[in-house]
Amino acid sequence: MKLRKLSLKVDEDESYHGPAKKRNKRVANGKKYLMKIIRNTLRLYSYTTGFGLTGNTLKKGSAANYATMSFPTAPPPKSRLGRYRMLAPTAGVMVSPLCLGAMNFGEGWKERLGECDKETSFKILDTFYENGGNFIDTANNYQNEDSEAWLGEWMEKRDLRDQIVLATKYTSGYRTYNKSEIQANFVGNNTKSMRLSVNASLKKLRTDYIDLLYVHWWDFGTSIEEVMTSLNQLVIAGKVLYLGVSDTPAWVVSRANQCKKHFSKVLLEKNLLTDNKSTDARDHGMRPFSVYQGQWNAARRDFEREIIPMCAAEGMGLCPWGSIGGGAFKTAAHREELAKSGNPGRQIEPRDVDVAVSKVLENVANRHNTVITSVALAYVMSKAPHVFPIVGGRKVEHLLGNVEALGLELSEEDIKEIESAYEFDPGFPNTFLFRGEEKEAHPGNVLFKNVAAKFDYVDLVRPIKPKSLDA
């Protein structure tokens, strides 16, 4: 069989595609066919999404019309709670900028914390959700287990479990109210305590997974290896998505995250990882701690010595509790009013530093036409990225006041004024390395390096500034 020799050379009359007129006709038909595919695809997209891309929007023309077509964006949220942020560099889940603390929801601790009945608790939860909030924090022992139980009931009744990013904790003795039981293994960081607590939490919360599980506090008895291996077994089982740690020294957290690759290898050797294609533990992506929770506010800044730099290095988010002072931040008029009434409230006697910080917060609040708790909340959110303060309260108006604080932007002068209320000691080696001054952990601030030459460095990652609802 004789094959015709095909030429790829293009001339006026003949080419690989045939005569010029026929070639042009085929090209034109091809363009029409392509436009038809695009129009049908967009009509199908419009039908399935309700975006309304039919009619004049799909008029025939250049393909550039489709390339430059703009699609509708999400509508403005009801409040700034509905502007979601990535939880941490190592946790891509999107959460509201405030985390609702559920420690007040229940009757088990009402003598200590005050009463917040189920009806009020559900109203607070509804208000949080309706304003865009999706990040909620509880623990295995809060309110003698009422907190988790009520939260689970609320999510089930509203049918919105998967819309919520749910955080809970293990470690605390969650059955200490039942004196008839042996309590030895219902408390602590060990594997049995973890297993019992997580299974109980899943039942109370009426769910089959926990978005974020915290180690509530470090018991200094259980090994780091045991804790991280057992936590990652929960991740592998699908019971837990992300890991967090609370009220624990920075060196423990760093060691735990550093060792996670080793734990992956251990699990692989024990055949607890099912992927046999690779023997490299790094390929199995064991979960590190992605979030740290602890006490931090303008009058308690210990967080800034080791915890915040550690979180920056480890790619962790921060969920501080007590950011609005836990009742310690009050205006001078409010303190005077309480003193005259003879009812100082259920809060403990404030420290001198609390009074001093309150005075400065009040000055800043007056300039911004807001309240001191809003300034206190804005302060911690202005100090570091990936900060999600935990806010509680027993009244809806308390929650709404905290939401309003998300629109407050403090200047550097405001922050300096707040920090001038008392002398904070960053401690050694920070004061030694940073000229004896309070400085950020940045190479540009290290005295002994700067004596050698002039250096330029990339700036540290900064917090997200408040944005308008429709930005």
| pLDDT tens-digit map of 26-66 | 656 766 777 777 777 666 555 555 455 544 554 555 555 55
Would the pLDDT of 319 be above 90? yes
Token couple for 119: 């009806």
Please check whether residue 426 is in contact with residue 305, taking contact to mean a CB–CB distance below 8 angstroms. Answer: yes
Q: What is the mean predicted confidence (pLDDT) over 350-360?
A: 95
Torsion of CA 214, 217, 220, 224, to 10 degrees: 10
Beta-sheet pairing, 85-88 with 91-95: antiparallel
Beta-sheet pairing, 135-137 with 85-88: unpaired
More confident residue, 347 or 194: 194
Interval 71-107: pLDDT, tens: 788 899 999 999 999 999 999 999 999 999 999 999 9
Which of these, 325, 378, 387, 389, lies nearest to 98 by C-alpha position? 389
pLDDT, position 362: 97
Which of these, 332, 351, 317, lies nearest to 422 by C-alpha position? 351
The position carrying tokens 């009619």 is 55
pLDDT tier, 10 (very low <50, low <70, confident <90, very high otherwise)? very low
Q: What is the sign, positive or negative, of the torsion defined by CA atoms of 202, 207, 208, 214?
A: negative
Would the pLDDT of 387 be above 80? yes
Dihedral pair phi/psi, residue 76, rounded to 5°: -60, 140
Cα distance between residue 328 and residue 185, in whole Å: 36
pLDDT, position 13: 45
Lowest mean pLDDT among 21-35, 119-133, 244-258, 262-276: 262-276
pLDDT, position 283: 44
Helix (H) / strand (E) element for 319: namely strand 317-321
Q: What is the DSSP letter of 451?
A: T
Measured CA distances, 60 to 42, 46, 64, 432 (Å): 13, 17, 11, 70
Q: Is 391 helix (H, G, I), strand (E, B) or coil?
A: strand
**Cβ neighbours for 395, distance < 8 A, ≥ 6 positions apart:** 120, 124
pLDDT, position 430: 87
Measured CA distances, 444 to 383, 439, 451, 454 (Å): 18, 10, 11, 9
Q: What is the mean predicted confidence (pLDDT) over 276-302?
A: 77
pLDDT tier, 471 (very low <50, low <70, confident <90, very high otherwise)? confident
Measured CA distances, 320 to 150, 302, 336 (Å): 23, 12, 29
Q: What is the mean predicted confidence (pLDDT) over 390-400?
A: 94
Dihedral pair phi/psi, residue 199, rounded to 5°: -65, -40
Measured CA distances, 248 to 230, 295, 317, 426 (Å): 18, 11, 15, 19
More confident residue, 5 or 206: 206
Residue type, 386: H
Q: Which of 129, 142, 170, 242 is catalytic?
A: 142
Please check whether residue 382 is in contact with residue 410, taking contact to mean a CB–CB distance below 8 angstroms. Answer: yes
Helix (H) / strand (E) element for 72: namely none
Domains of the chain in start order, with CATH, are: 20-67 (no CATH), 84-416 (3.20.20.100)
Cα distance between residue 115 and residue 151, in whole Å: 16
Would the pLDDT of 273 be above 60? no
Lowest mean pLDDT among 62-66, 275-279, 391-395, 450-454: 275-279
Measured CA distances, 262 to 12, 147, 226, 274, 283 (Å): 69, 36, 12, 17, 12
Token couple for 357: 């910080």
Is position 142 annotated as part of the catalytic site?
yes
pLDDT, position 270: 61
Which of these, 419, 374, 379, 425, lies nearest to 400 by C-alpha position? 374
Would the pLDDT of 8 be above 50? no
Interval 123-175: pLDDT, tens: 999 999 999 999 999 999 999 999 999 999 999 999 999 999 999 999 999 99
pLDDT tier, 441 (very low <50, low <70, confident <90, very high otherwise)? confident
> In whole numbers, what is the pLDDT of the chain averaged over residues?
86
Strand partners, 293: 246, 319
Instruction: Count Cα atoms within 13 angstroms, Cβ side, for 389.
Output: 28
Cα distance between residue 305 and residue 400, in whole Å: 32
Measured CA distances, 38 to 49, 289, 350 (Å): 16, 46, 68
Q: Quick one: what percent of the chain has pLDDT higher than 90?
A: 65
pLDDT, position 265: 60
